[in-house]
Amino acid sequence: MVQQFNASVQAILKASEDFDWDRIQPECVMPVLTQLVVSHRAMVSTALSIPDPNWDNTLSKLSELDGVLDRFWSIVSHLRHVVFTSAWEAAYTQALALITQYSLERSLDPKLLTVTQILAERAETHEAVNPARYATVQLMLRDFKLSGMLLPSAQQSEIKHITAQLSQLSAQISTHVLRATDATQIWVRHAHSLKGLVPDCIAQARVRAQNQKREGWCLSIEDSDYMAVMRTASERRLRRRVFQAYRTRASEHAHVAGDNGPLLVKMLQGRQKGARLLGFKTYAHQVLETRIAGGVDDVSAFLDGLAQRIDRKARSEWLDLKKFASKHLDIKRLQPWDTAYALTQFEMHTLGFDPQAYRPYFPLSAVLSGLHEIVQTVLGLRVTIEPCAAWVPGVQCWRIEDPEKGIDARCWIDLFARPGKQGGAWMDECQTRWRQSNGEVMQPVAFLTCNFMPPTGQEEAQLTHDEVLTLFHEFGHTLHHCLSEVDVPDVSGISGVAWDAVEVPSQLFECWCWTHEGLSRISRHIKTGAQLPDKMITALQQSRQFMAATGLMRQVALSQFDWQLHIQPKQWTPDAIYTLYQQVMRRYTQGPVWLKDRMPAAFTHVFSGGYAAGYYSYLFAEVMSDDAFSRFEEEGLFSQTVGRALRDTILSQGAVKPADQLFEAFRGRSPSIEALLKHRGLLDAA
């Protein structure tokens, strides 16, 4: 396909294949993408016009055509999220409109539907003959239904318009959050206001001020700064300033243009309208067509059941926290900007556990070395860091190998927060593993992105335990993507995996970070080289169960907020959305609520990140991941036998079979919530 283009386009496509990042600039995006789409459309039309379609001359051929287009778009999308500039935003906005329009065109292509229906009856796609092809065809038929393909043409057009609008709204919401985060600065004039704040955060704030040739300190509201202030700053006024700035991002109270409130309303209206056109009562009903949780009542029962089981314990924990804050912190009435700080102080008082004391034991090099050792021991993989040049200095390229299985994957690792980079942590696909018609295997490529506090001075970065968990979590996603042995891209890696099960590998990999054996491998004091002492490991393990019901209740609350938004067929307003959020938080978390809290305006997971009517997936998958890890606890934390079973039944299988069936193949039974409750000390909470 590449050979069909002019020299300049070929050069950019070659740069994307070779990861020559300097060559991929905003001004090249639209010329290249436009030619890709034009060529792709013509070649797809030719492939779908073959008189006697079979797998090799149609769907396999389309996969090869999709590979070039999907790879280029993945790179463009990634760069927009990690090097946000006005040029990249303009290029991305134009490109998103084009790729969305073309994707909708493909999803409503009657020729493709006809070919898929023909192939569904062929022996070569029967489940017993080729499970991957069977799963692909079944998913395609399902997606045709959900795209509106089976509706009359007028309604198809309406669905197409709604889908395009939702795509643009998602991008706008994300952009507003990023702009507000980058533009907000919290200035501090006096050193005493920074009391208790971790030194690295203070140093970064000083550098920001110096870069602007000003005295004092300049705090950002990037995730790393925000969490550091909320947990460690003893100055209550500073916590309040940072909290209020963070929780009003992209709202009518923000100081930066870009109010997401009206956009949230349009998003919910579009989702509900599209669901009704497709014949569903609500958007939640539509979403569950692609999940394994069951029906709407099943998800509601899952969330309600978990809440009821831990409610009494959560209330008791909150009363203890309030008593501690009143007696030891002289905070008679906890406010939202006090909660994280009070929790940290309460934990230190009760367990002797200071999260910041662990950072010297988690220098980045030690954590990476331990992570690589664990996956080598358990999964038989070799992970190396290769020399590379990337979009910014400090980005790494990891090579993940298993010659026996023919795996030779790459993962680009971008770990530190900086201006112009979207907050949070995620893994994204660049290229999915699949087998071409000539027999050659296209190896997986992934992007792993975090927002850790960057290093200061000459010392390397030192991670908190929470950041270690985040790294293991995202690498779990990466392994799910990279260890695929499936030959068909639509069901390879994480492609096609039910959204409420896609977190199972990622949350499972976090579990090693709580074990004595795992912590011994990933810790090494930055100055002495000593491993984490047993006393500190015990305190860390106890911290997992400290206020555990409160932590789970917060996840239930966020899940219920998302769920209630999408199971109620009503006309929303910004105020109604914010009111619902506050009501749900009061009901489930027991904590104080700030009346101007606009957290939903920046809740990108639900409004621009794919978790709409699906935030429950974190808890739903956590039941499975904790239960899956309990097999390692039973048979050996570093058992190669269990690791091989995990690879063979889950990590290598993509979406060839439904995720619940793959879990049962690994565990030998359906998932049980007991392991999750046991790990958090809540078995007797009811």
User: What CA–CA distance (Å, rounded) separates 465 from 116?
Assistant: 48
Q: Which long-range contacts (CB under 8 A, 24 or more apart) does 32-39 make?
A: 32/72, 33/72, 33/73, 33/76, 33/95, 33/98, 33/99, 34/98, 35/5, 35/6, 35/9, 36/9, 36/68, 36/69, 36/72, 37/69, 37/98, 37/99, 37/102, 39/1, 39/4, 39/5
User: What CA–CA distance (Å, rounded) separates 481 from 651?
Assistant: 8
The owner of tokens 């010392």 is: 459
CA distances from 194 to 197, 205, 212, 428, 498 (A): 6, 10, 19, 37, 45
| 448 within 8 A of 411, measured Cβ to Cβ | yes
Give the angle 581-587-589 at the CA atoms, nearest 5°: 90
- The encoded tokens of residue 125 equal 């796609």
517 is catalytic: no
- The encoded tokens of residue 244 equal 């209020």
**Cβ neighbours around 175 below 10 Å, total:** 20
| 355 within 8 A of 344, measured Cβ to Cβ | yes
User: In one letter, which amino acid is 27?
Assistant: E
Note the Cα 106 to chain centre separation in Å: 26
User: In one letter, which amino acid is 100?
Assistant: T
CA distances from 520 to 371, 513, 514 (A): 11, 9, 10
Specify the pairing of strand 426-431 against strand 445-452.
antiparallel
- The encoded tokens of residue 286 equal 């539509």
- The encoded tokens of residue 605 equal 């997971």
List 222, 317, 429, 474, catalytic entry: 474
Contact residues for 460 (Cβ-Cβ < 8 A; gap 6+)? 363, 364, 365, 526
| 552 within 8 A of 310, measured Cβ to Cβ | yes
Contact residues for 217 (Cβ-Cβ < 8 A; gap 6+)? 187, 188, 194, 202, 205, 206, 208, 209
User: What CA–CA distance (Å, rounded) separates 200 from 208?
Assistant: 12
| 27 within 8 A of 85, measured Cβ to Cβ | no
Sign of the four-CA dihedral 160, 165, 139, 49: positive
Q: Any idea what DSSP says for residue 651?
A: I
CA distances from 82 to 163, 178, 183, 188, 443 (A): 25, 11, 16, 28, 23
| 126 within 8 A of 134, measured Cβ to Cβ | yes
Note the Cα 17 to chain centre separation in Å: 25
**Cβ neighbours around 7 below 10 Å, total:** 6
User: What CA–CA distance (Å, rounded) separates 334 from 593?
Assistant: 10
The owner of tokens 């926290």 is: 321
Give the angle 570-571-573 at the CA atoms, nearest 5°: 130
Angle 7-18/26-47 helices, nearest 10 degrees? 100
Supply the residues annotated as catalytic.
474
